[in-house]
C-alpha cells in the first residue's frame, strides 16, 4: 500500500512539472511580431519587409539593408536570432567624386587639394596633411583608401627651381662698372660703347675702349667675367660696330701688337 502511494506521488509530481513547463512556455511566447521585427532590425540595421510565424511558433523575418536581403529566425520564447542567411546581394553603385572627397578627408584626416577619377572604379587625390603632400588612391566601389604615398609639392618644387634659376642668373650677370674695369685692364681709355652679344659659347660683352690714337674691342664672357679676346684698331680707322660676327670669332691679338701700338702714345 505504501509503495502504491509513493508511485502515485511520483507520477503526480511529474505531471505537475510538465504542466508547469507548458504554462511557463506559454507565458514566455508572448512576444509579438513587432517585437521580433524590432530585434531583427536592431541587429542588422535594415528594414523588415516580410515576416511570418512557423510551425514551432518562431518568427521568420526578411530584412533588406545596404548589403542586400537577409532572412533570419527570431525565437518567440528566448528572443534569440538564428538561421541567418543572405538571400540576395545588393550591387553597389560607385561613389561620386564629391562623396569620395568627403570620405578621404574623414578617413585620411587631411585636406584634399585635387581629386579626379582614375580608371573605372577609383579616384586619385592629392591630400595635404601635416605639411606633407600625399597621393591617395580611393576605391569608389568599396568606399575605402587602397594606397597612399608622399609626393613632392609641385608649387614648392617649381618655386625652388625658379629661385635657383634666379640666383644663377644673378651670379652670372655683370654690371657696366665691372665691364668697364675689366676692359680698362687692356687699354686705359674711355669706354665709348658696350654691346651684348649672343654667341655659341654664351653671352659675351663687346666693350669698346678708346684713346686719342688707338682703341680696342674687348670681349668679356658674362659667365666667367674674363676677357676672351681683344681686337685692336687705329683711330685713323673708323670704328665698325657692325663687324660683331667677325669679331666674335677672333682670338686675342698677340701682346707684341699691344706693345707696338703703345709706342704710338
Task: Identify the pLDDT of residue 20.
Answer: 61
Task: Identify the pLDDT of residue 66.
Answer: 79
Is residue 223 within a helix (H) or strand (E), and if so which, with residue range?
none
Task: Identify the pLDDT of residue 197.
Answer: 92
Residue ranges for the chain with pLDDT beneath 70: 1-5, 7-8, 10, 16-17, 19-30, 92, 153-172, 237-265
Task: Identify the pLDDT of residue 200.
Answer: 85
Tens-place pLDDT, residues 79-115? 899 999 988 877 767 899 999 999 999 999 999 999 9
This prediction has a pTM of 0.33
Say if residues 118 and 137 touch (Cβ distance below 8 Å). Answer: yes
Q: How far is CA 213 from CA 32, 147, 158, 216, in A?
A: 124, 79, 54, 11
| Dihedrals phi, psi of 133, to nearest 5 degrees | -110, 135
Task: Identify the pLDDT of residue 153.
Answer: 67
Distance from CA of residue 38 to its chain's centroid?
46
Task: Identify the pLDDT of residue 161.
Answer: 57
Task: Identify the pLDDT of residue 250.
Answer: 41
Tens-place pLDDT, residues 31-52? 888 998 999 888 888 888 889 9
In this structure, the number of other CB atoms found within 10 A of the CB of residue 210 comes to: 17
Amino acid at each position: 500500500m505504501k509503495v502504491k502511494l509513493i508511485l502515485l506521488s511520483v507520477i503526480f509530481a511529474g505531471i505537475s512539472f510538465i504542466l508547469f513547463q507548458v504554462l511557463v512556455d506559454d507565458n514566455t511566447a508572448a512576444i509579438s511580431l513587432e517585437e521580433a521585427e524590432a530585434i531583427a532590425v536592431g541587429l542588422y540595421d535594415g528594414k523588415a519587409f516580410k515576416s511570418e510565424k512557423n510551425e514551432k511558433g518562431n518568427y521568420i523575418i526578411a530584412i533588406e539593408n545596404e548589403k542586400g536581403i537577409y532572412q533570419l529566425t527570431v525565437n518567440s520564447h528566448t528572443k534569440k536570432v538564428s538561421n541567418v542567411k543572405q538571400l540576395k546581394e545588393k550591387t553597389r553603385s560607385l561613389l561620386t567624386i564629391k562623396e569620395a572627397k568627403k570620405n578621404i578627408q574623414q578617413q585620411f584626416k587631411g585636406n584634399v587639394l585635387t581629386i579626379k577619377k582614375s580608371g573605372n572604379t577609383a579616384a586619385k587625390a592629392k591630400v595635404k596633411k601635416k605639411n606633407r603632400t600625399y597621393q591617395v588612391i580611393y576605391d569608389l566601389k568599396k568606399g575605402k583608401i587602397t594606397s597612399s604615398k608622399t609626393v613632392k609639392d609641385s608649387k614648392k618644387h617649381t618655386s625652388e627651381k625658379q629661385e635657383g634659376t634666379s640666383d644663377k642668373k644673378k651670379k652670372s650677370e655683370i654690371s657696366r662698372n665691372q665691364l668697364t674695369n675689366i676692359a680698362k685692364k687692356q687699354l686705359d681709355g674711355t669706354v665709348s660703347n658696350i654691346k651684348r652679344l649672343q654667341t655659341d659659347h654664351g653671352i659675351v660683352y663687346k666693350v669698346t675702349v678708346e684713346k686719342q690714337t688707338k682703341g680696342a674691342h674687348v670681349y668679356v664672357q658674362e659667365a666667367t667675367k674674363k676677357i676672351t679676346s681683344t681686337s685692336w684698331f687705329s683711330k685713323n680707322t673708323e670704328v665698325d660696330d657692325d663687324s660683331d660676327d667677325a669679331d666674335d670669332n677672333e682670338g686675342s691679338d698677340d701682346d707684341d701688337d699691344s706693345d707696338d701700338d703703345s709706342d704710338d702714345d
